[in-house]
Amino acid sequence: MVRLGVLASGRGSNFQAIIDEIEAGKLPAKIEILIVDNPNAYAIERAKKYKIPYLYINPKEYSTKDAFYEKIRDELLSRRVELVILAGFMRIVRKPLLDAFPNRIMNIHPALLPSFPGLHGQRQAVDYGVRISGCTVHFVDEGVDTGPIIIQAAVPVYPDDTEDTLAERILRLEHKIFPEAIRLFAEGRLKVEGRKVKILDYKNPDICFTNPEIGK
C-alpha cells in the first residue's frame, strides 16, 4: 500500500476519484494528508467527509517560494508520504519538493502532452483546431508539464466543441487514468529511463492508453 500526500487548490474532483477507488478496494493506497494553498478549496470538504487529515498552508506567510515548498516537504516527510499527487494544484513545484520526491510527484494535465502545456489546455486544443485531445499523467520535473509521461488517454474533438464541453469529456478520463497511474506506482510497475516511463507487465483492456511502452 502506497502512502499518498495530495496537493490541491480547488474543487478536487481528481482527489475524489482517487478516494473513490481507494474506498472501493481497487487502489492499494492511503491518503495521509491533503495540503491546500487556498482556504476555500472544496477539496477540504471532501477530506472532511472521509476523515482525511488536511492542512492549509498560506504561501503569503513565506518570504520565498522555496520556503513555502520546504514547509510542504516537511509536512509530507513527517507523515512518511511515498508519492505526492497534484490534484488541481495551481502552482509550479519548486526544487525543495522535487529533490525530496524524485520521480515521486504525479500530475495530470488536460491535454496530450507535449502539446498544449500550461494553463487552459482544453481551450488551446479547441482554438488550434485539433481533432484529438485528451489527458496525460506525468511525473513532475522543474518545467511546466515537461516531466516523463506515464499514461495518456485520448478523446475526439468535435467541430462544435467549446472549452467547457471538451473539458467535461476529458475530465471523465482523468478520473480513470489518474488512479490507474497511482496503482501502477503502488505495484512497483513504473520504471523511469530518461524521458521514458516503462510500464511493466501491463494488461488492462478497459482503457486505451497511448503510452508506447505498454505491453513491453
Asked if 116 contacts 124 with a C-beta cutoff of 8 angstroms, the reply is: yes
Catalytic positions are 109
The three cell numbers locating residue 76: 509530507
SS (H, E, C) the chain: CEEEEEEECCCCHHHHHHHHHHHCCCCCEEEEEEEECCCCCCHHHHHHHCCCCEEECCHHHCCCHHHHHHHHHHHHHHCCCCEEEECCCCCCCCHHHHHHCCCCEEEEECCCCCCCCCCCHHHHHHHHCCCEEEEEEEECCCCCCCCCEEEEEEEECCCCCCHHHHHHHHHHHHHHHHHHHHHHHHCCCEEEECCEEEECCCCCCCCCECCCCCCC
- The number of angstroms, rounded, from the C-alpha of 112 to the middle of its chain's C-alpha atoms is 14
